[in-house]
Amino acid sequence: MSTVSSEPETDSVKRSSCSSPSSDEAKAEPLHGLKLASHAPLERAQSAGRLKCPKCGGSRMFYCYTCFSLVGVSQQEIPLVKLPIKIDIIKHPNETDGKSTAVHAKLIAPEDVTVYTYPCIPEYDSDRQNVVLVFPGPESVTVKEMAKQLIELPEKGLSDPTDAPCPKKPRREGEPEEEKCTESQQEICALQRVVFIDSTWNQTNKIITDERLQALLQVELKTRKTCFWRHQRGSPDTYLATIEAIYYFLKDYHMQYLSEEYRGEYDNLLYFFVYLHKLINSAKKAAEMCVAE
């Protein structure tokens, strides 16, 4: 049995489509072949056991999910990833912090990720041609269809109908100067920000009906299945953990719009996820062996 913190273990493994060795999916194991930084710092932190978070004093392992800070691991030991677009994560206030994978994104890509706790969320109305919401709704489009849909979005909801969609939008405070927009590259530069909802399947539906999110184009990641050990019974297996959704979105975006071969640029977003996934699965196997004996 591993000594991993109780958070990842409290909820027993309900299903894991990608860890069943007998299934065909084992061959296409989505977490295999990733370009990840060494997990040695996490192994060391794990053998040291839980420590107090320097900020809130809570007992934590690897990181504090309340303060978004590392615990028992130094910043230099952890990979940092620069993202091509900004990520907003809207967290449901009732979501148990220790179960959320939003913290992984904030730790690995701190410059590009902002976490909001619902109902304190930004107004996106005037940015609707540059922002999408990842959600598997009835009207959602694929990442491939996204750019075209963004350009074709009617300008409803804007107080000034002459407001041009792409070149000049009010920039958020602290946002870097990014003026790569040219006529021929409009598809590439249209998207600047992606919004993810971090909550259980039921709570997501409460957030998605918030009128501040209604203007946004919804994008669905249709082809991926979750490897999350907390996958919720009754929800589709394409309902991904937040960090999985962010990773797959960025990978698709990179291949679709940056016209570059994907070389593992964002794989380290799954740095913590893969490690915890391994721990949970080995703990699960050990438990199964105990039952079998």
Binding residues for Zn ion, per CB under 5 A? Answer: 53, 55-56, 58, 64, 66-67
d(CA 21, CA 13): 15
Which residue number, 101 or 226, has a Cβ lying nearer to Zn ion?
A: 101
Which residue number, 56 or 286, has a Cβ lying nearer to Zn ion?
A: 56
SS3 90: strand
Which residue number, 61 or 227, has a Cβ lying nearer to Zn ion?
A: 61
Cβ 104 to Zn ion shortest distance, Å: 15
d(CA 237, CA 101): 17
Cβ 70 to Zn ion shortest distance, Å: 10
Which residue number, 53 or 217, has a Cβ lying nearer to Zn ion?
A: 53
**What residue ranges in the chain does DSSP mark as E strands?**
51-52, 59-60, 62-64, 69-71, 86-91, 113-117, 131-134, 193-198, 217-219
Cβ 61 to Zn ion shortest distance, Å: 12
Q: Which residue has the tokens 């297996």?
A: 237
Which residue number, 66 or 235, has a Cβ lying nearer to Zn ion?
A: 66
Q: Which residues are within 8 A (CB) of 154 and not within 5 positions of it... i.e. 6 or more apart?
A: none
Cβ 60 to Zn ion shortest distance, Å: 7
SS3 159: coil
Which residue number, 70 or 270, has a Cβ lying nearer to Zn ion?
A: 70
Cβ 72 to Zn ion shortest distance, Å: 12
Cα-to-chain-centroid distance, residue 85: 13
d(CA 246, CA 132): 12
DSSP 61: B
153 CB neighbour count, 10 Å cutoff: 15
Cβ 139 to Zn ion shortest distance, Å: 39
Which residue number, 64 or 131, has a Cβ lying nearer to Zn ion?
A: 64
Distances, alpha carbon 130 to alpha carbons 102, 150, 162, 171, 223, in Å? 22, 7, 16, 11, 24
d(CA 185, CA 163): 19
Q: Which residue has the tokens 């998207």?
A: 191
163 CB neighbour count, 10 Å cutoff: 13
Which residue number, 61 or 283, has a Cβ lying nearer to Zn ion?
A: 61
